[in-house]
Amino acid sequence: MSFIEFSDVTFRYPDSKKDTIKNLSLKIEQGELISVIGHNGSGKSTLAKLINGLLTPTQGAVTVNGITTAQEEKRIDLLQQVGMIFQNPDNQIVASIVEEDVAFGPENLGVPPEEIRKRVDEALKTVGMYDYRLKAPHNLSGGQKQRVAIAGILAMQPKCIVMDESTAMLDPIGRKEVMDAVKKLNEQFGITIIYITHFMNEAVEAHRVILLDHGEIKKDGSPKEVFSDYEQMINYGLDVPQSYELVKKLGIDACILEEDECVALLMQHLGVHGKA
C-alpha cells in the first residue's frame, strides 16, 4: 500500500449540486515532493483537506499510512501523520512568543515537557528560526511567520506536510524562504511534501506535478511532462513558468522551466560563451 491513497474518491459540499472531486484515484509514496496546480475552483484545496481528514469523502476512501481518514477514533493518529500549513500564517499562530507557539502542537499531543523542549529547538533550527525563538510572532515578516508555522507542524513529527497556497500572501523573498525550508525537510528528513500553488515557478521545483481540472486529474508527471504542452496549459487557465514564457515569445521551441537553464539557452542562441 502506498503512503497516501485515494480510491475512487468523490466529494461534494452539502450546499452544492456539483461534485468538487470526481472519482479520483491517486497514490503518493513516502518521501515524494509534489506540487498540485489548477485554476480556481479546480478542487486543489479540497484535495488537501481530504488528505488530513478535515473533509471526508462522499464516496470512496482516503488512507494515510494505513489509516482511513473517515475513522473518527483515529483522528489523533492521523494528525501525527499529516500536518497542514495554510495560506495566512497569522491564522496558525496561537502564542505571543515563537517557541511557545511551536510547542503548542506537541503539548496537545501529550508529549512530555523535556521532549517538547528538544523538539521545539530542533524544529526552529531546521527552518532557520532558532535565533527568533523568544521574539513575538507579530513582529516577524510574512516568510518568517510561515517558517514558524512549519516549525510548529514539524515539532509534531509528521511524516507528511500539506501546504495549501502557503506562499500566496508572501513577497518573493518570503516565498523563497518558505520553499527553501520545505525542500530541506524533504531532502534531509524524507518528509513527504504536498504543496498547492498557483505560482508556476514554485510548481516546477517539485519532483512531481499533479494538474487538477474540475475535480479530476488531467496530468500527473514530472514538471517537464506536465508543462511540455504550452497551449494545453493555457487552455486549462494556467500560466507557465516565466522562463518557458520567455523562450516561447522569442520563438524558441523548447520546454525551459528553470532560470539557469533559460540563461544557458539564451547565451547559446546569442553565441555568448562563459558565465553570465
Half-sphere exposure of 77 (CA within 13 A, CB side): 12
Residue ranges per domain, the chain?
Answer: 4-237, 241-276
Distance, in Å, from the CA atom of 245 to the CA atom of 239, rounded to the nearest integer, reads: 9
The reported pTM is 0.87
12-51 residue pLDDT tens: 999 999 999 999 999 999 999 999 999 989 999 999 999 9
Residue 274: the pLDDT is: 54
Residues of the chain with pLDDT under 70: 272-276
Residue in the structure block whose three cell numbers are 516561447: 248
CATH topology of domain 4-237: Rossmann fold (3.40.50)
Residue 208: the pLDDT is: 97
Residue 275: the pLDDT is: 52
